[in-house]
Structure 1
């Protein structure tokens, strides 16, 4: 992602996007996206920016819209790494894994939570 893309993305979504170094020994980068919540919007500024980054990284035309069905049509397999604060990971997993299991069943996705410890 070049600086022009990130600048335009921030202007259009009102999200803050930062590119950080990834883990030592990898070529990966961390894309940190944050924004003030806007309850009146259909999609939050941070999620809008996330979807645009996802499309950009995977070379998906911006004309395809934001629906997961349209995005999924482009891939037979896709992998996304999402960095989540440890206190939020508890909510993702749910009591005895109930939340993550429900998400996996409703989306046919495989979700793994990898501890940094």
Structure 2
């Protein structure tokens, strides 16, 4: 939900529209290939590990966002990379868990409750 306000925040910090578009271009450039990495990490180490790792990248994303200064290209690049890592790790693992437990109709409510608690 916070992603809706990122372009507004960047524009308020005197980033141009072109720089905001560049941020989203970099984000998507990193996001697409990282989906394959997230898939292999989820298969190798498990979905919970990938979600935890994605949450760590999310914390790093908010730290960089808090320290972002106008026209700081290095932090803007780091922000795009951290957002891509969070997005791929969290959502690939989340969808993996959803698909895995949607096959077992009798256990689905209990399993999804455990997912949201953890």
Report the TM-score range of the alignment, normalised by the length of the smaller protein: under 0.3
TM-score (norm 1): 0.27
TM-score (norm 2): 0.27
- The higher radius of gyration belongs to 2
Greater helix share, structure number: 2
Structure with more contact order per residue of length (Cα contacts < 8 Å, sep ≥ 6): 2
Greater strand share, structure number: 1
